[in-house]
Every structure is written in C-alpha cells, then in structure tokens.
Amino acid sequence: MRPRLRWCLGVLIVAVLTPAWAGRRCDTERPPRTATVEKGLALAERTLKALDASGAQVVVLARAGQDLSAYGLRYSHLGLAYRSTDAQGQSVWRVLHKLNHCGTGEAAVYRQGLGEFFMDELWRYEAAWVVPQPEVQTQLLALIQDPVLSVRVHHRPYSMVSYAWARRYQQSNQWALETLALALHPPVAEAQGVDATRDRAQAWLRAQGYQPTSLKIGPLTRLGGRITAANVAFDDHPNAQRFADRIDTITVDSVFAWMRRSGLSGPVVRLP
C-alpha cells in the first residue's frame, strides 16, 4: 500500500473510532458503511494527487455533502486546505474548517485530513477548489498555522442559514469567508473581540463586492426547519427580507464566484 494511501486510511480509522464523529449525528451509533469509506478514501486520494500536482500551498476546498440543486447550488461546505508536513517529514494536506455539533445549535473549528473531510455520506463524491493568488496563499497560510488567529472570528452559535451580514449565528461557509477577510485585510485583526472583528470582516467583504446567495424559502419551510432542527434559525435575518421569503446566506458557489470575480483566485477546479 502506498504511503499516502496508508496515511488516508489511518485517518479514516481514527475517525470511525471517535464516538462523537465531527459532522455526523450523535445518535448515529453504527459506523459508516464500507462503500462510504471506500468512496471517501478514493476521493481523498485523487484530491491529494491533484493538490500536490497543482503546486499550491493553500486552496479553498469544497465538498457536496447535501443536495442543494433545488437552490441552484452545487456544493455545500467549504474548508481551507493547506500543505503541511507529517511526523515522518512527508508532505500532507490538512483542512481547517468549521463543523456543526451533531445537529445542535453549536459548532467548532477542526483540523482534519482529507480522508476525514470526505468521509461523511456525501450527496456527490466530487471535490472542487480554487487556488488563491500567490500573495493570498502566503497571507492565508500564515493565519491558518497560527492557533490563535485561525479561530479569531469563530462564533459558536450556529445556524445553517445564518444571515450573511449578522453576528447572532455563524455557519461554516461564513466562518471560512470571514477568516479569509481576516487574513487579507489587516485592520480586521486590529479589532477587539469576536463581534467587532466579525463586523470589520463583513464590512470589508461588502466593500470588496461579495454578494451572498439569496435563497427563496417560504414561511412553512422556515417554520418546519426551526421547529425540527436546532441548527436552523431565521431570526437573524431582517424582517423585510424574511417575510419576502428572501434568505441571504453564504454559500460555496457564491464564495467561489466572488474570489474569481475579484481576482483573488483562479477558476474553479472540479474533481469528479
């Protein structure tokens, strides 16, 4: 077995044996199906080879964990993937990303391997990423490797559809985008406290032309989601927009489009 494959498999085994597997429902006691592990491992291995060949040090990486085609979206979850070195001195890729705690209203930031990142039961086994411009990679890598700065904008209360320009909740893609702002705009890091830091990050993103995705979600869907899921909330959205069924939230597709449009990255690379 190749060293890279052994490494990915080892990461998967550790994750399978972890009782509260990040990103999975806590009441799911059975381990992942063999087919799920195999497909996730295969995708991780293909992604590893492609990232190594790219010459990049940092990429903004996405997976398709949920079917969002009804909203015209292809991917569901972002992470900041970076090249690192393991204990044996081999080049490996790690992913810094935010995960919801077992369907609750809270989340945390994790560092994981590619195997873990793609191990969940994905809707579609496809990876996608954008390669930031070299100077952006340099700034991002410095932040990602800093244990304090890398979680500077993290806010524990979580909603899958958190309003892009509010601070009450923070979903995973929102954390990644605000972290990108923290890396690229030094005045963001000068703010005191998480709220003030997020305020500056959001103000900079608005000034740079970032546009969230507007989802059309009716009142019955909103009510059902809020009652049945602790990780779904709509009360941070402006009333005028919410009552017009307009939910503005941060999506992978909108982040990729903005990074390309603003010249921060190259085009989207897709790996089926």
pLDDT of residue 7: 43
Strands in 124-130's sheet, in edge-to-edge order, are 107-113, 91-100, 77-85, 58-64, 124-130, 269-271
Domain ranges of the chain: 3-271
pTM greater than the 0.75 cutoff: yes
pLDDT score recorded for residue 198: 98
List pLDDT tens digits, range 14-46. 333 232 223 444 545 566 788 889 999 999 999
Over its C-alpha atoms, the chain yields an Rg (Å, rounded) of 18
**pLDDT tens column, 77-130:** 999 999 998 889 888 999 999 999 888 999 999 999 999 999 878 999 999 999
**52-83 per-position pLDDT tens digit:** 999 999 999 999 999 999 999 999 999 999 99
